[in-house]
């Protein structure tokens, strides 16, 4: 049995009830699908095959005769961004009833952090370290999207991002390959469910394969210069995990790696993705990325771009028409073997069959909207907001506030702002659904509390016109809550920055209010790490809220007023200044690690080399104490697991949740290994005074890396271990593998 057939069976098994007949019926189902594809392929003309490989990008809300004819003649296999259910059904009807073979279309949309119920941006979701919740959010998005005719999402976006200048850092799960891998799997499980052909699940797409987040200088679409080892250890890791979780599609990215654009890169698409990992779904190119190979200068025209892409391993072309207009001639001229086309079409049909599109090609337009914004979905969104918030600072227990505090000044351009709380890539989210921070506070406080609100300034403008009025309301209030940060359009695709400072005059506004001497709490809305040293040093309490989605105001108020004890931890490093980036916790040691006493070590003369806030960091209203790190056995034969446990005690007076983090360092190996690597975590809840032992098992698989010969392996030797509350704190120990 070849690797592809094997993985087809494994995939089907994942979606078949695990009865005693499970394996048998999985095999039968996989076999039946392949048989059906054989039959279809035998009937398809070359033109019809090529048609399956084209995804039409649709933004307008009407249908031309030309488009109808394209579908009728089988020249389109998929659509992008058809958001009108009736139109979707109309197009589908032409494909199913009027095209020669009746192969259904598949409809895709970017459902990134929610469809209509918008959850926190993915970078915020990863700060929850809550995989169950991440999965639930994806399942809600899937249910909502499928009910409105979306069969396929271009998510999860699992690009490791080490550079906060890159606007798309907002869309992914941060800098760590382990956390990002688990988030990738949770999202695939959430979107695709146990049964991909059910009417409440959608096809997932792992994107952007690969190293898109390594864009030089944090500038979108730029080149990625990464070694094969870093590519595999860091950037490919989440994709490998996503493939293991049976993600049905993968998107090839815009960037080149060492001069070879992803959509023309046979090494990544065929050798690794299919050859090594056994991926049997289909690869879609990112928007016009095949055609863009002309701009790269590796294809003279669209025909050559198409040839390179199909031979590299792209199956479906998004938006541009290099395949549609050229593949037939390329086959005729024997530049592309027809069996390569057949394989691509087989993979596309396999996903369509698995998704149940042949059985239920239409959606009921009368049900459109019935699944969106349901009460329990809003509850989950609120829970996700609370858990995504990271308490960065809380001097003197300024937070939580009492609900019966006599007066509060609420100041800042993000306080009564709906649109920007949705964040980038907000699907079919609507600003009108958003609970603003001001509203959330009003919902929370007692009726005696007086709330004074003023915007103070705009997000990006330079006017100081409202400063006096802002100072005035601060003066007459007991406490000031300031809502500052970035607008939604300052992150996301093509929205990169060279400055990571608060935009406009927001910092000036905070400074002016701070001077009044009133206690100030800053709530920071952002799509990326910002440089906030001044804030961090001077302001009493800082709560990081990301772009929190439609339940933002309620979830934040839950934390500000103590109904939820914050538990979020950063999934990305916060630098002190932009000159430090890329800055990430799992770096190599260098031959000259920074040493205070030695100027000729790896550091700066004008800034510490350390971050302002490290990966894994986040405070609580209570205090957790770690003790009794145990490593058993501390010497272990290669291949045997190691058990690590630590005790965690809630020493404060409030119940709270803690993300217990496990890091290792492989001290001597054939290639330099990171100074720390996250290898496990558990989010636990402890009542005041409660103590619990948290245990981890480290398997050989978790210690593997790409060695000097690029083999994925574990090498014997000593490993350091840390168990603690962040990447820079924790109890230390060691074990040895022999």
What residues are annotated to the active site?
Answer: 286
- Give the residue, chosen from 135, 151, 286, 433, that forms a contact with ligand BGC under the rule CB under 6 A: 286
Distance in angstroms (rounded) separating the CA atoms of residues 680 and 179: 9
Tell me how many residues contact ligand BGC (CB under 6 A): 7
Two structure tokens written together for 102: 């009746």
- What residue has token string 């400063």? 467
SS3 content of the chain, % helix, strand, coil (to 5): 35, 20, 45
- Asked whether position 317 contacts ligand BGC by CB under 6 A, the answer is no
Nearer to ligand BGC, 495 or 576 (CB): 495
Nearer to ligand BGC, 154 or 467 (CB): 154
CB of 540 to ligand BGC, least distance (A): 39
Distance in angstroms (rounded) separating the CA atoms of residues 641 and 217: 40
CB of 82 to ligand BGC, least distance (A): 12
The enclosing H or E element of 244 equals helix 237-244
Nearer to ligand BGC, 125 or 249 (CB): 249
CB of 334 to ligand BGC, least distance (A): 33
Full DSSP string of 46-112: HHHHHHHTEEEE--SSS--HHHHHHHHTT---EEE----HHHHHHHHHIIIIISSS-PPPEEEE--S
Nearer to ligand BGC, 27 or 493 (CB): 493
- Asked whether position 207 contacts ligand BGC by CB under 6 A, the answer is yes
- Asked whether position 493 contacts ligand BGC by CB under 6 A, the answer is yes
CB of 154 to ligand BGC, least distance (A): 3
- Give the residue, chosen from 287, 546, 681, 722, that forms a contact with ligand BGC under the rule CB under 6 A: 287
Q: Treating both helix axes as pointing N-terminal to C-terminal, what angle do 131-147 and 375-388 enclose, rounded to 10 degrees? A: 140
**Residues forming beta bridges with residue 409, ordered by sequence position:** 452, 480
Nearer to ligand BGC, 427 or 485 (CB): 427
- Asked whether position 291 contacts ligand BGC by CB under 6 A, the answer is no
- Asked whether position 657 contacts ligand BGC by CB under 6 A, the answer is no
Residue nearest to ligand BGC (CB): 154
Pairing verdict, β 691-698 and 642-650 = antiparallel
For the window 52-91, what string marks contact with ligand BGC as x by the rule CB under 6 A?
A: ----------------------------x-----------
End-to-end C-alpha distance for the chain, whole angstroms: 36
Return the residues of window 148-187 that contact ligand BGC according to CB under 6 A.
154
Distance in angstroms (rounded) separating the CA atoms of residues 76 and 48: 8
CB of 317 to ligand BGC, least distance (A): 12
**Residues forming beta bridges with residue 391, ordered by sequence position:** 543, 619
**Residues forming beta bridges with residue 731, ordered by sequence position:** 723
Nearer to ligand BGC, 209 or 617 (CB): 209
- Give the residue, chosen from 110, 151, 256, 343, that forms a contact with ligand BGC under the rule CB under 6 A: 110
CB of 281 to ligand BGC, least distance (A): 16
Return the residues of window 210-239 that contact ligand BGC according to CB under 6 A.
none
Two structure tokens written together for 496: 């990169």
Which among 330, 293, 368 is positioned nearest to 53, based on CA atoms? Answer: 330
Nearer to ligand BGC, 207 or 352 (CB): 207
CB of 287 to ligand BGC, least distance (A): 4
Q: Treating both helix axes as pointing N-terminal to C-terminal, what angle do 338-354 and 3-14 enclose, rounded to 10 degrees? A: 10
Distance in angstroms (rounded) separating the CA atoms of residues 618 and 687: 19
Please report, as ranges, the residues that interact with ligand BGC according to CB under 6 A.
80, 110, 154, 207, 286-287, 493
């Amino acid at each position: 049995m070849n690797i592809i057939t094997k993985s087809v069976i494994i995939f089907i098994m994942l979606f078949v009830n695990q009865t005693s007949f499970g394996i048998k019926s999985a095999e039968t189902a996989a076999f039946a699908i392949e048989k059906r594809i054989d039959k279809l392929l035998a009937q398809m003309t070359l033109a019809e095959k090529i048609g399956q490989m084209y995804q039409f990008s649709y933004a307008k809300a009407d249908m031309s005769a030309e488009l109808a004819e394209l579908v009728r003649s089988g020249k389109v296999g998929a659509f992008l961004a058809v958001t009108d259910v009736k139109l979707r059904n109309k197009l589908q009807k032409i494909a199913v009833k009027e095209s020669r073979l009746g192969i259904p279309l598949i409809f895709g949309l970017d459902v990134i952090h929610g469809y209509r119920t918008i959850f926190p941006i993915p970078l915020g979701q990863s700060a929850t370290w809550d995989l169950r919740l991440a999965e639930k959010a994806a399942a809600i998005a899937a249910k909502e999207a499928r009910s409105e005719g979306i069969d396929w999402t271009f998510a999860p976006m699992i690009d490791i991002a080490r550079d906060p200048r890159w606007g798309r850092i907002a869309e992914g799960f941060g800098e760590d390959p382990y956390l990002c891998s688990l988030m990738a799997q949770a999202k695939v499980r959430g979107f695709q469910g146990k049964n991909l052909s059910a009417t409440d699940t959608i096809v997932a797409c792992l994107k952007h394969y690969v190293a898109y987040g390594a864009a030089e200088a944090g500038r979108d679409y730029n080149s990625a210069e990464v070694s094969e080892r870093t590519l595999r250890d860091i950037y490919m890791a989440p994709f490998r995990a996503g493939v293991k979780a049976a993600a049905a599609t993968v998107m090839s990215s815009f960037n080149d790696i060492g001069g070879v654009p992803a959509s023309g890169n046979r090494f990544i698409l065929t050798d690794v993705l299919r050859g090594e990992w056994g991926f049997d779904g289909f690869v879609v190119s990112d928007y016009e990325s095949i055609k863009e190979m002309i701009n790269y200068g590796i294809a003279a025209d669209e025909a050559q771009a198409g040839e390179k892409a199909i031979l590299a391993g792209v199956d479906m072309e998004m938006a541009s028409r290099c395949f549609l207009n050229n593949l037939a001639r390329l086959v005729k001229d024997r530049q592309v073997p027809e069996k390569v086309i057949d394989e691509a079409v087989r993979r596309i049909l396999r996903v369509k069959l698995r998704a149940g599109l042949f059985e239920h090609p239409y959606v009921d337009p009368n049900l459109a909207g019935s699944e969106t914004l349901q009460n329990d979905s809003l509850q989950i969104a609120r829970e996700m907001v609370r858990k995504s918030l990271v308490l960065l600072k809380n001097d003197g227990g300024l937070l939580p506030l009492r609900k019966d505090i006599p007066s509060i000044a609420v100041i800042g351009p993000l306080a009564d702002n709906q649109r920007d709380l949705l964040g980038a890539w907000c699907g079919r989210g609507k600003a009108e659904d958003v609970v603003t921070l001001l509203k959330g506070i009003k919902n929370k406080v007692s009726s005696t509390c007086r709330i004074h609100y003023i915007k103070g300034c705009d997000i990006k403008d330079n006017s100081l016109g409202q400063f006096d009025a802002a100072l005035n309301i601060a003066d007459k209030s007991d406490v000031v809550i300031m809502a500052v940060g970035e607008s939604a359009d300052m992150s996301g695709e093509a929205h990169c920055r060279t400055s990571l400072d608060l935009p406009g005059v927001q910092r000036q506004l905070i400074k002016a209010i701070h001077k009044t001497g009133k206690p100030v709490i800053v709530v920071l809305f952002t799509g990326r790490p910002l440089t906030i040293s001044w804030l961090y040093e001077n302001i009493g309490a800082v709560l990081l809220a990301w772009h929190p989605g439609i339940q933002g105001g309620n979830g934040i108020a839950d934390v500000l007023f103590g109904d939820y004890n914050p538990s979020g931890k950063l999934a990305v490093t916060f630098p002190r200044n932009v000159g430090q980036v890329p800055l990430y916790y799992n770096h190599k040691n260098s031959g000259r690690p920074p040493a205070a006493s030695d100027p000729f070590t790896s550091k700066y003369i004008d800034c510490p080399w350390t971050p302002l806030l490290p990966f894994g960091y986040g405070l609580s209203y209570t205090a957790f104490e770690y003790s009794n790190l145990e490593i058993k056995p501390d010497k272990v034969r290669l291949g045997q697991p190691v058990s690590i446990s630590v005790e965690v005690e809630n020493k404060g007076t409030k119940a709270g949740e803690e993300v217990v983090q496990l890091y290792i360092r492989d001290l001597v190996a054939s290639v330099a290994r990171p100074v720390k690597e996250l290898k496990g975590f558990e989010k636990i809840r402890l009542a005041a005074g409660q103590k619990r032992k948290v245990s981890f098992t480290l398997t050989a698989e978790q210690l593997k890396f790409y060695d000097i010969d690029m083999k994925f392996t574990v090498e014997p030797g000593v490993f350091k271990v840390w168990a603690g509350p962040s990447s820079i704190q924790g109890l230390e120990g060691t074990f040895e593998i022999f």
